[in-house]
Amino acid sequence: MDTENSVFDRRTTNDTIIGAGLYNLVIGLTLVWGFAVNYAMVSHIDPEAIASVNPWIFFIGYFASCFLGIYLFQSSSSPIVSFVGYNFVVVPFGLIINMVVSQYDPALVTEAIRITGLVTIAMMCLGTLFPAFFQKISGVLTIALLLVIVVELIEIFIFKTHHGILDWIVVLIFCGYIGYDWGRANQIPKTVDNAVDSAAALYMDIINLFLRILRILGRK
């Protein structure tokens, strides 16, 4: 366990360094695994069964699983432990995805996937070319995301409404996070564990981006 630094703070390692090509391949395969698990969950789990779970139990379990997963992959220097942590994030995200996509036409979901993929590739390219820029705006991204979460909670629970502009703001925020996390992924030692950890961070960015794009397309 690497208790001193989280994954993106690592600058030295005792683990085996792998080539850039293999490093990126591990990131890609880890992402594909997460998306495949989500696809299987959407295909085989009835969203009504998820909706029937007590909301308090569902959300407590959701956040507990996510936080446990994030702790495991950020603090561990073992690829296996990090991968287990990654799955603790993938599964609860899959439950949310299942309930959301069930509300939309499959053609619209496919379009959202295509747009998300194109945007992700573009932001990864920008993150590679301009890592210093994304590093500078990381604090702004965090503050903006927290503000949007607070505003959305107030709108939902107090005013019983939702303004579409917030979805566009969140899309921009997670575009920034994809560029930021991809840039950071290429600045840390290229080990299998760091590849898994980087993929886990990117997975959360991409899924949040996808859900917001789907909501925007759904309104149109």
Reported as a single tens digit per residue, the pLDDT across 71-106 is: 999 988 899 999 999 999 999 999 999 999 999 999
Which pLDDT score is estimated for 163? 79
Confidence grade of residue 4 (pLDDT, cut at 50, 70, 90): very low
Mean pLDDT of 125-136: 94
Domain that includes residue 75, residue range: 16-219
> Which residue did the predictor score with more confidence, 159 or 7?
159
For the chain, the distance separating the N- and C-terminal CA atoms, rounded to the nearest angstrom, is: 47
Confidence grade of residue 3 (pLDDT, cut at 50, 70, 90): very low
The number of domains in the chain is 1
Reported as a single tens digit per residue, the pLDDT across 139-180 is: 999 999 999 999 988 988 887 777 789 999 999 999 999 999
Q: Residue 8: inside a domain, yes or no?
A: no
Which pLDDT score is estimated for 220? 67
Q: Residue 150: inside a domain, yes or no?
A: yes
> Which residue did the predictor score with more confidence, 169 or 16?
169
Q: Across the chain, what does the average pLDDT equal? A: 92
Torsion of CA 46, 49, 50, 55, to 10 degrees: 160
Q: Residue 158: inside a domain, yes or no?
A: yes
Reported as a single tens digit per residue, the pLDDT across 46-75 is: 999 999 999 999 999 999 999 999 999 998
Q: Residue 9: inside a domain, yes or no?
A: no
